[in-house]
Amino acid sequence: MAARSRLILVLVAGLASLAVTGCKAAAPARDPEAHPGQLVRLADGRRLNLRCTGKGAPTVLLESGFAATSLAWWKVQPKIARTNRVCSYDRAGYGFSDEGPAPRDGAATARDLDHALRRAKIRGPFILVGHSAGGLYVRLLADRRPRDVVGMVLVDTSVEFQEQRFAGAFGPGAGSLAAIRQRAARCLEAAERKALPSDDPALARCTPKPRSGQAADARMAEAVNPANWRTQVSELDSLWTTTSRAVEAGRASFGDMPLIVLTAGDAYDELPEPGRGMVRAFWTGLHQEVAARSSRGVQRPVAKSSHMMMFDQPDAIVAAVAEVSAMAKAPER
């Protein structure tokens, strides 16, 4: 029992690190993204920041994980742009995009991106790439645009009702994101008081380390903005509730649409054995379930990669996109 309790505690810490590490991605020193790309105005007046580069079909859409912006794809997007048009963006409330109405769940995210693409006259066909929680969001976008979406690459994707699934397998609290929500709530309260940045150790992780330059200024401006933290809290509250229910209510099958699910091979290295093997097998099984929704679905492990695969193994993502693109142009045999 003691060993099981230790496993649950370490697993909770590991899941928390998976969800948080994508929030403030380190960008290259000569950061080209200190300014917005194309600010697309939606029907309600809000603006979403899109960054589109390259040429060639299908157009690849990049959806970041929890709390991450278009900066998360700085290693991936330029490589895809050599062969395809590729667009990343900041979800409402993050980066250079305006805050959106609550709740900031998957349905709202997919609706915003759908409308932004139409407003910007960005037409399909599309290949959707979703990292972590973004994997849930692109599945909802695929439900909105079934004729336009011709393939998907899911990067160490979250799955619907993930917290409940982990708790059922490893015990109460094993899949909880409560610690991350508590931190976001503390940062929100401080931001609303205009108390960020702060010397208080409890608030140190609310803002990036002080640096000079326009990119650092842009990230600090986001970190002290209450909209950023409100969005994070709402996104977390929605993941295993309304977002998961919407995904569950979506298509049970993607037919023969090319689908590759990439699973990070080193995501749970901090766990002791035998827990490490148990969790890896469970996580792989969840990804296999998602891949099985297409007759051309594949679950593929990626060695030497943490959950942040876009930083550790960007070429694995680029190769998967190229493979899905080729498959989308060829009928299933």
Compute the radius of gyration of the chain from its Cα atoms.
19
Q: Which helix (H) or strand (E) holds 130?
A: strand 126-131
Tell me phi and psi for residue 280, to 5 degrees.
-60, -45
- Residues 170 and 191: their CA atoms lie apart, in Å, by 36
> What number is the average pLDDT over the span 125-149?
98
Whole-structure pTM value: 0.92
Q: Identify the DSSP state of 182.
A: H
Amino acid letter for position 200:
D
Residue 268: closest CA among 5, 34, 13: 13
Instruction: Please name the residue that has the structure tokens 């015990």.
Output: 171
Residue 46 has a CB neighbour count (10 Å cut-off) of 19
**Is the pLDDT reported for residue 181 higher than 70?**
yes
Confidence of residue 33 (pLDDT cuts 50, 70, 90): low
Cβ proximity of 305 and 313 under 8 Å: yes
pLDDT for 217: 85
- Residues 31 and 213: their CA atoms lie apart, in Å, by 9
Question: Residue 17 has which token pair?
Answer: 């690190």
pLDDT for 291: 98
**Is the pLDDT reported for residue 11 higher than 80?**
no
Cβ proximity of 88 and 25 under 8 Å: no
Q: Going by DSSP bridges, is the β-strand pair 86-90/126-131 parallel, antiparallel, or unpaired?
A: unpaired
> Considering the domain 2-328 in this protein, what is its CATH number?
3.40.50.1820
- Residues 2 and 24: their CA atoms lie apart, in Å, by 35
**Is the pLDDT reported for residue 199 higher than 70?**
yes
**Is the pLDDT reported for residue 95 higher than 70?**
yes
Residue 108: closest CA among 140, 142, 130: 140
Confidence of residue 31 (pLDDT cuts 50, 70, 90): low
Confidence of residue 218 (pLDDT cuts 50, 70, 90): confident
- In degrees, rounded to 5, the angle at the alpha carbon of residue 299 between the alpha carbons of residues 235 and 58 is 75
Tell me phi and psi for residue 158, to 5 degrees.
-70, 160
Residues 6+ away with beta carbon under 8 Å from 120: 38, 40, 50
Tell me phi and psi for residue 163, to 5 degrees.
-60, -45
